[in-house]
Structure 1
């Protein structure tokens, strides 16, 4: 029984190109009590591998969080399989706004302690006492209410390239960092304001809404299905789009264009730009915003030092990397000291 990938990303990309078939990028999550995540993990890998599903899936005792790519002609078989799993029957599937056949190039199903790293002790509050789910129409109505505080539950590098108008965008690196900061900053509004939250697909708000209710916020709402589902509803129902810029996504696409507004800037020259790239120096791999001109000038690197290293023969680069651990420094995003123009989200 195969429980791991036997193809490299490059080999998989070549097969996708050769097949010439359309693929769908999909995400979903579900909080549920899973007694043995390892058994579920193995079952999902075996079944989805046969369906040529690719993606990154986390399974934990508290549920599942999945971002994946499935061949369009296998979608019904994939959906039918989900429906055979009791807690995933009719689960909401967020289908990407912009499709890319190469959004994922490997199938990774991993057992984790949590499906989202929130740093919370779930035994100290009722995680099922969540906020009110609202659709796009109700969301638009709520955020126009002067008694509403709209909060972006994503990280700074996500909101930097796109967010809802008038949203509070915490300057944080991780979801777990945002929770105490938001509670402290908005403490005076616990009794007298509606707290409305949103994130990419809804999963972060699901836990955060219960946490904030536990912390004393009386009127808590969350955008059901997140930005992805919002954009789809706006298009289908002809609603006003209140989101400006791009929606950051955690796959090879890196983002989806929602509106034509460019609200970020190149981290190297400062010109308007909202294209995230990874530094071409594999020992760095920093994610940052880089315009086309700087990409050419810097050879797709974040600094002169990385540019010099990336120009070395491949074997020499490997030698320099040997024994070095690539830490989460790559998630400094636009905070790195090597970048001249740091995060600067203008008021909307």
Structure 2
């Protein structure tokens, strides 16, 4: 079975690729390397440096005889979507349509699409379930929701099966604090350097932090389950940003106090997603508590930064 993972050199995509290969699947990675990293690409995957908006994507489908698609290539920065909505729409909407056309033309069996909690906007109730009204408050939320409609119509017109996974706030190993920048990776980057983390707002805003390995498992299960369903992937728990800093200080044996800044446009104040449907339909549940996932993530970055320093020192010696 040939599975194409778009964005497979990126943070979430590369973790999914690793899990698929560990489970015996043949995996093809498409990534334009704008935020993806060469070191993230599993050596057993077949890699194509292709943008999902390009016609070159059709050649990948023609050559590889793709059975399933897991779609994670995206523009994911809310602030960039506000500053450059045209680019945001080109990647997330037009890119997905181009991918769907490839699926239609080459008889792909199913697409698993990575959507976002951002489609819900400001919650009318907590935890937010899949029946909650969709009302995005950022262009990113709009550009992640719009492909859901296209995917549904491709199913109705051409029989392309799908599972749409709406993620809470994903964190974990390989998240780039200087690129795709989730709050946890940014905090770890600063705090490991002894710098105070910056919180936009008073720190009492809440998020639902889901570990990337739990997200990868949900994608694996969605290949064979949850046909034509929209499913939240979350912990069903709210954590304040202040609580997050306290847990990270504990893990790092530090006492760094946050610096508070003005709230940012497009940021939601309180959010956590109900995950009952994922348990019922996918047979999925998160394996990682927040502190466990954070410990693994902090250890990953500690080792990475240590290795980077050694490599930099060796480079100086060569010169």
Bucket of the pairwise TM-score, normalised by the shorter protein? under 0.3
- State the structure with more CA Rg: 1
* Structure number having the greater helix percentage: 2
